Structure 1
Amino acid sequence: MRTVVVFASAALTLVGQVRGVRAEPEWHERVTPAFSAPIPNVSGKSLVSAVVDYPPGAKSPPHRHATSAFVYAFVVSGAIRSQVGDAPAQVYRAGESFSEPPGAHHAISENASDTEPARLLAVFVLDTGDHPLTTPDP
């Protein structure tokens, strides 16, 4: 009987891995680079973008972006709760956007829903080579 239980458990684990099912919920965002190129008519500047996926209830740790980075964020789907600098936290829904000035502290960046995923497109205009793009608070 023990052999059957071990085999069944191993089979379910394998099926979950093949289907991309995780045993534990994801609490952090997933960042996928989308585009990166120098801006040809603005010497020394680059445009970088990334898609940020937030599973239900997921959040990013408080952070800052590269010191030269102006950030434009567009909510593709779902709803994102964000707090930048001293401004109050605000919920942005699909189709809405916000920006972050260079050097701003991003205290809150999270999925506003515990049941639905959310997706954000982040676009950075920054000095070429200014990395890392994001630095979590210590």
Structure 2
Amino acid sequence: MGIGVAGARVALGHPDAGAAIEPVLAEKLANVPGSSLSALVVTYAPGGKSPVHHHAGSVFAYVLSGAIRSQSAATGPARVYETGEAFFEPVGSAHLVSENASDREPAKLLAVFVAEDGATLTTFEK
């Protein structure tokens, strides 16, 4: 299941994930024909997490509030990112850990994708 974002698709999330996804911007990139930039705000409830997944494009993530624990197969061990910190996920790399580092406070991040037009931005592993 997905939602349209400038010709791309975003998986709505796993039913038990404890995350809400809000598209905030979608633009085709004139200087990169066939590609779009999509920005989403992901809000994790306390203790919320996403299952293992991968992205069709490169992702820049910026923590807006709270603390996010993240681990990509391409970037090494899991790390906690606090408000104001950012991380990068290379295209296609398995995102092994993506969760709120707190079981008491919500956490929010801005995810900015650059991917081919029409790509499904997030695909969850089965």
| Structure 1 alignment gaps of length 5 or more | 1-25
Structure 1: distance between partners of 2:100 and 2:31:
36
Gap change, CA 1:88 and 1:42, over 3 Å in 2:
same
TM-score normalised by L of structure 1 = 0.77
Gap change, CA 1:99 and 1:37, over 3 Å in 2:
same
TM-score normalised by L of structure 2 = 0.84
Gap change, CA 1:70 and 1:27, over 3 Å in 2:
closer
Greater radius of gyration (CA): 1
How far the C-alpha of 1:133 sits from its partner, in A, is 1.2
Cα-to-partner distance string for 1:81-106 (whole Å, 9 max, x where unaligned):
00101510000000000000011000
Q: 1:107 aligns with which of 90, 96, 100?
A: 96
Paired residues for 1:12-31 under 5 Å: 27-31=17-21
Higher relative contact order (CA 8 A, sep 6+): 2
2:74 paired with 1:83? no
How far the C-alpha of 1:27 sits from its partner, in A, is 4.8
Structure 1: distance between partners of 2:29 and 2:51:
30
Percent identity of equivalent pairs:
52
| Structure 2 alignment gaps of length 5 or more | 1-15
Structure 2: distance between partners of 1:116 and 1:27:
16
Residue aligning to 2:59: 71
Q: Say which structure is richer in helix.
A: 1
2:108 paired with 1:119? yes
Residue aligning to 2:33: 43
Once superposed, what is the RMSD of the aligned Cα atoms? 1.1
Number of corresponding residues? 110
